[in-house]
Amino acid sequence: MIKLLDILRESEESILVPRRSREEREKNHLIAVQKKIKQYIAGGSKGDLDLAHTPITTIPQGLKVGGDLWLSGTKITSLPQGLEVRGYLDLSNTKITTLPQDLKVGGSLNLYDTPITSLPQDLEVGASLWLVNTPITSLPKDLEVRGSLNLSNTPISKKYTKEQIKQMYPGIEGEVFV
């Protein structure tokens, strides 16, 4: 009986060697993701757009997402002007450092484990806002959060109680977690 390992050792070209380099595979993956975004827009921007754990670094200016937008685990560092997300916006585990002034999020906004240090004025979040494990040091006075606000393991949570935060930011409708 011939063993598979013996066959692999004897062959001149190992069948286990990838046909494409890592760089080529990443480039092709990025092209496929960009095509997915174009198809989403061409289809009327309906439903969710899941780009989590892809090599994407930017998204198109003025993108409107009819459902949820999943960007967790991507290389995104900023978002374009005019971005609207009717559902949930997940930016967890990204390198996001700023949010655009005109960002609109109809559902929850997740910034868990990001390097974000501040939020734009006039930010409105239709559900909950998660800022867990971020270096955020202040919130805009006019912040509106229709759900809960989670500030666990942030400089703000170490400085203020949840009661103080609720007093300082009356636009937070739900519970505050510190």
Average pLDDT value for the chain = 92
- The 10s digit of each residue's pLDDT in 154-172 is 999 999 999 999 999 999 9
- The 10s digit of each residue's pLDDT in 24-48 is 988 999 999 999 999 999 999 999 9
Domain 20-177, CATH 3.80.10 — does that match?
yes
The residue assigned the tokens 């990025």 is 30
Spans of all domains in the chain? 20-177
- The 10s digit of each residue's pLDDT in 55-87 is 999 999 999 999 999 999 999 999 999 999 999
Tokens for 115, please give them. 């390097």
CB 92 within 8 A of CB 110: yes
| Distance, CA of 145 to CA of 65 (rounded, Å) | 20
| Reported pTM | 0.86
For residue 126, which of 99, 102, 145 has the smallest C-alpha distance?
A: 145
The strand ranges marked E within 32-156 are 49-50, 64-65, 69-70, 84-85, 89-90, 104-105, 109-110, 124-125, 129-130, 144-145, 149-150
